[in-house]
Amino acid sequence: MSDRRTAVITGSTSGIGLGIAQRFAEEGMNVVLNGLSSPDEAEAARRAVDDRGDGKVIFHGADMTKPAEIADLIATAEKQFGGVDILVNNAGIQHVAKIEAFPAEKWDAIIAINLTSAFHTIRAAVPGMKARGSGRIINIASAHGLIASPFKAAYVAAKHGIVGLTKTIALETAEDGITVNAICPGYVQTPLVDGQIADTAKARGMSEEEVKNDVILKAQPTKEFVTVEEIADYALFLSSDAGRSITGAALAMDGGWTAQ
């Protein structure tokens, strides 16, 4: 069994998840990537992470809507590396629409991927963490886990749920050497947010540039996007010994958005 720590990161073939995976690899960790990607896309992401460090990087294509596949993701990490030291729940999708036009199937998919998948990964990973007396669980929530915006019923509900799940599991594992925290970023310019910009423009009858400047960055007093690198560094801190007394927290990283 390797002395290296092992991190499982869902939704990690692009955006925030990929950035966290690369940062963890730079620290010498083994990394298990996950995402719904083509074989070529998955291998490109794996190489992009593998090039950052000397740990081992593997890819697992678990569908975050399928509990059996999620269980296999954690089981594979445990079999391959001897355990899951760090679990980052990052997988997420988005849809923007008025409630009366919000497709029921989009609600179901967002709740499944953004919220329920985290229940399944945590449920599978905690027994091993308890047995080893240590573990770090980091849930990538959102400023929308703390406040709401119109046209995002499913996303806001899921992210509020992630914050509640974080607090509950933190209390359950407080004496087991495990910390559980939620990072709540403001807007980060990732492929997911680029899609939100386009959808919001359509929903509100605005141009995409108007949405970016007058809707999205208007909410953040810094008038700047949060960067993937900043979130990755925060996740690394929470994974370190220095973060061992931080648990059950919903940590805003939003340029002052939720301070208003």
3-state SS, residue 98: coil
What single-letter DSSP state applies at residue 259? G
> Of all residues in the chain, what percent are helix, strand and coil, respectively (each to 5)?
55, 15, 35
Quickly tell me which residue has 């939100």 as its tokens: 196
Token pair for residue 150? Answer: 């119109």
| Residue of 155, 225, 234, 257 marked active site | 155
Neighbours of 201 (CB within 10 A): 18
Catalytic residue check, 234: no
Alpha helices in the chain (DSSP H): 15-26, 39-50, 67-81, 104-111, 117-132, 153-172, 191-204, 208-210, 228-239
Up-side HSE of residue 49: CA atoms within 13 Å toward CB?
35
Q: Hey, what amino acid is at 157?
A: A
3-state SS, residue 235: helix
Active site residues: 155
